[in-house]
Structure 1
């Protein structure tokens, strides 16, 4: 009897059913229990033999569909007891899933591939591909430490024998992940070495992005520590080749970061232009790129004074990030939502997103966001009656900002502490003035003009409370001049 006849008999008995007619005839068991019973009735060795036969048959009959069928082939080889043979197909399956933005699925494939490669397996390129795939996915879905360590181990297992492009990519991702963790080339020899090796290998290969990416991350580093103008200039200069030759996700993220920085400078037209680049790139369907652009949009709205709209958008992004399991996006959007609530003097509303942002920033080692969240939480907890908890959060944020040379985190912490101290019962206007003076000085140095306008407005109120009307008028006039010039929505012309 033919296989088709036997399948027809099984279908007539109700054990299997037709699943698809095109492009090939496919059958499924009607019930999982029947499938399990049939499978369990086979001897273990027979099962392995059939799995190997199934994998070999798929490879022989459909060589042009290897990427599409890689997950099925890998599963058969795993169950045939040959994890080494399965590893290559697991990497291909992960890369194929990544192309379709199936990020969780792709990460699972890359993890299985890494586990399938024995320590003495000589296929260094395959090991690097698995580590690189996991790095591209997991930095938005989990801790930064895991993929960084995996890349380092892969390089240590035989960098000199590997494809130079893969080696360069591995060093690039090590530098990128360490930069995202809050490290700086000046204080992290590992980050500096990785960035230099990535650029060196890229130049040797004639890669147009050899210097663009290191320069872009140098700009991001400047921006994250408060050198807004310098960082924006460096990143803006590095972006054109990245937009022309880089991958859409990196291009969208960097364009969004540039938009955020222009927003903080008060250059909203430039911010809109950068955001337009990011939004176009996000149209390719990558949910992470789309989330990043929306988070950048929420930042622009809050800086411009459309606080309620910006906070609502950030809260929507936070919910969407949780649905996707996008950890990095969840950190940024929750902290942004908390900032929006605090800008509207809503300490209670700020509490949950800031605590969530702080929790996830700690898990993912996103240090600059943790500093910012802790600084804001100091004000939230104090305003809600937990003064010791608030003081502890302020102290931690300032210690961290000093250690990381993070002027931005320091300025925001001091500014919010000044606002809280001025509105306490009883108020401590002298301490509030010392804080607001220090914050204003930092914001002026950073050229963070929207924040400067608002901190000067708060300074004027504190000065009036201290009976220094003339000084208050000067601060108020300057605050209004900046606010009107920038077109901030919370400053009437």
Structure 2
């Protein structure tokens, strides 16, 4: 049928108010019509035979694909109903990636499932699973993230952008699950792979993520080596990708914080946050703001830390970033406790601990229970403090550096319960673990202080004096890394464990 007869038919249908011309066409340069009423549309569709529907959808899909600018989901559904499953799977992949970029994690997972249901195979199936892995990481479905990410890695071309991205998701999920050997294994796989021509940035993002995750679990040498590898690659690359730059800033921040340079860590985390904002990555920008709140907690700026963690907690809830909501809530509990808001802090810690356990997020559960135990000690609920501290210690193999603090908190609960000998043994064990790592991302002052107080409580004052002298020296060495005198003063004065260390040193040692 020629153009003129079609135009006459359309005009007649429009005159009869069955269809109407759209004011704005969705595809540039085209004239588009739509049914005036949904009932008319459904009645017309119902008059088609099954074969006519299939042919019509296939023709519509082919035309829309050639015309360009069509909605990916509409295209996918046309191809699926039109009996073109391979084309449908590709369109569902585009739709899933669009949903992921737009922050609709549930839609990303569902659209990818529809693509898989169309019989997607090979690279397409792998990329669909990669989308799901990333969405599951942010939703806190960590076991599913590992499963989907591993499926993706097996199907996608080695060394490609999507392949490195899939490994990144597995690295993140295994670190949160406390699967440290798997974390290191996958990071090694990524480091040994040759990237395709366009995948250098994706490789750097993957390695920087690996560096950050290895650092926070106490594998400082491996983390530092990966950071240096990424830095060398940056020196050899003229183009500066914003995402890779942001992730390198974040890895450097973790390393600085874990090795005692808190101000440098905060500065680099700020740089990471700005870079993520520049890249339009709202999820990682929110995550870095939460991490900044943790850094400011360690520095003693509790007001700023509370503000940033509340913002991150609320924003992660709005974006359905369940795992980030749990970790920011647990860290907020710690800040609230430092500000004397013990009841509210306890509520946040309990909620984070319970939900993390259900999600299998071992690392988050560990520090949530550790903070809960500290709050219970402050409230005088020592039996609950012991229970929570022991639960935290039981998970310490999955997050070794955080586990050191858990032992110290358990020792404090035991001191409060009058079980001094047991407290000394537990505090000494924490001290030995601290020495094996050298430094911790948090809780270092608490460990050294607890050893001194436990020894004093057992009547071994001479040993206690030596312990508090050592604690003071280590504390001042960390403070000397803070070049800004304002930060240094706040760190020593406002962080309770630091102030207590200096006060006991004055009382016991004089001067």
TM-score, normalisation: structure 1: 0.79
1:252-263 counterparts in 2 under 5 A? 252-253=246-247, 255-263=249-257
Deviation for aligned residue 1:282: 0.9
Which residue pairs with 2:346 in the alignment? 351
How big is each residue's C-alpha offset from its partner over 1:178-224, in whole Å with a ceiling of 9 and x where there is no partner?
Answer: 34432233xx4xx6664454444426979757986676455335423
**Which of 430, 440, 447 pairs up with 1:448?**
440
Give, in whole Å, the separation in 2 of the partners of 1:194 and 1:252.
21
Give, in whole Å, the separation in 1 of the partners of 2:108 and 2:203.
29
- The change in CA–CA distance for 1:47 and 1:226 in structure 2 (over 3 A counts) is same
Q: Does the alignment pair 1:131 with 2:129? A: yes
Alpha-carbon RMSD across the aligned residues, in angstroms, is 4.0
- The change in CA–CA distance for 1:214 and 1:3 in structure 2 (over 3 A counts) is closer
Q: Does the alignment pair 1:338 with 2:329? A: no
Q: Tell me if the contact between 1:249 and 1:289 (Cα under 8 Å) persists in the aligned partners.
A: no
> SS of the residue aligned with 1:236?
helix
Deviation for aligned residue 1:475: 6.5
Give, in whole Å, the separation in 2 of the partners of 1:32 and 1:392.
61
How big is each residue's C-alpha offset from its partner over 1:303-334, in whole Å with a ceiling of 9 and x where there is no partner?
Answer: 11112321231122112111111133223312
1:66-215 counterparts in 2 under 5 A? 69-99=71-101, 103-117=105-119, 123-153=121-151, 162=157, 165=160, 168-169=163-164, 170=166, 173-185=169-181, 188=182, 194-202=186-194
**Which of 255, 270, 284 pairs up with 1:289?**
284
Give, in whole Å, the separation in 1 of the partners of 2:198 and 2:37.
56
Q: Does the alignment pair 1:326 with 2:317? A: no
Q: Tell me if the contact between 1:251 and 1:281 (Cα under 8 Å) persists in the aligned partners.
A: yes
- The change in CA–CA distance for 1:106 and 1:432 in structure 2 (over 3 A counts) is same
How big is each residue's C-alpha offset from its partner over 1:49-108, in whole Å with a ceiling of 9 and x where there is no partner?
Answer: 322221122123x14x3xx53322111122334433311111123334445555544333
- The change in CA–CA distance for 1:420 and 1:141 in structure 2 (over 3 A counts) is same
- The change in CA–CA distance for 1:227 and 1:340 in structure 2 (over 3 A counts) is farther
Q: Tell me if the contact between 2:350 and 2:368 (Cα under 8 Å) persists in the aligned partners.
A: yes
Give, in whole Å, the separation in 2 of the partners of 1:282 and 1:138.
20
Deviation for aligned residue 1:155: 5.7
- The change in CA–CA distance for 1:192 and 1:453 in structure 2 (over 3 A counts) is closer
Q: Tell me if the contact between 1:295 and 1:314 (Cα under 8 Å) persists in the aligned partners.
A: yes
Deviation for aligned residue 1:239: 3.6
Give, in whole Å, the separation in 1 of the partners of 2:168 and 2:479.
43
Q: Tell me if the contact between 1:256 and 1:274 (Cα under 8 Å) persists in the aligned partners.
A: yes
Deviation for aligned residue 1:468: 7.1
> SS of the residue aligned with 2:179?
coil
Q: Does the alignment pair 1:408 with 2:401? A: yes
> SS of the residue aligned with 2:178?
coil
- The change in CA–CA distance for 1:435 and 1:102 in structure 2 (over 3 A counts) is same
Give, in whole Å, the separation in 2 of the partners of 1:39 and 1:484.
74
TM-score, normalisation: structure 2: 0.76
**Which of 213, 217, 225 pairs up with 1:225?**
217
**Which of 15, 21, 24 pairs up with 2:24?**
21
Structure 2 segments unaligned to the other structure (5+ residues): 483-487, 494-498, 500-511
